[in-house]
Amino acid sequence: MKSRRPSCTDSGSESSEPDSKSPEKYETVTRRRSAANARERKRMQGLNTAFDSLRKVVPQWGQDKQLSKYETLQMALSYIVALNRILTDARRHNAPHRQWLDLQFDCVQPENYPCLLRYDSPTDQDYIHSSFSYQFDGHQVHA
């Protein structure tokens, strides 16, 4: 865990000192701020725990370092879309389970799944975006 910023304290910031008429009110305000900061830290820690859980179930082929939060979300979205496509195809072709699994296993292998491979250049990223066909801005995902 990263160390906290030394310039910031839990008892409130220098830039926004509470406009208090009494020491009592000042104390109340700073105590509430401190409690809110602690809650926020805890909330963000929970969020990070969730991200860690997600990283564990999402493919990370070729990635020697952990995915960023943004990359994790992108990967999760792509992975779900890919799995969903497999299920949809299986229903359509009505394949027996074992045979179907063998057939589809290749679909989630790195070499057949370029979008999940490590990218090293902006060109690669462009390719990934075009081949993966998810759109964050439009909130639209194509299988």
The residue among 82, 80, 58, 61 whose CA lies nearest residue 69 is 58
Per rule CB under 7 A, is residue 93 in the interface with DNA?
Answer: no
**Among 26, 33, 81, 95, interactor with DNA by CB under 7 A:** 33
Question: In 3-state terms, what secondary structure has residue 135?
Answer: strand
DSSP 8-class letter at 15: T
Residue 52 as a binder of DNA (CB under 7 A): the answer is no
Q: Read off the DSSP letter of residue 64.
A: S
Identity of the residue, 58 or 86, whose beta carbon is nearer to DNA in the bound complex: 58
Q: Is 44 in the site for DNA (CB under 7 A)?
A: yes
- 3 binding DNA? (CB under 7 A): yes
Class of residue 81 by CB neighbours under 10 A (exposed 0-12, middle 13-18, buried 19+): middle
Beta bridge partners of residue 138, listed in sequence order: none
Of 1 and 57, the one with the shorter C-beta distance to DNA is: 1
Q: Which stretches of the chain bind DNA, using CB under 7 A?
A: 1-10, 12-13, 15-16, 32-33, 35-41, 43-45, 48, 68-71
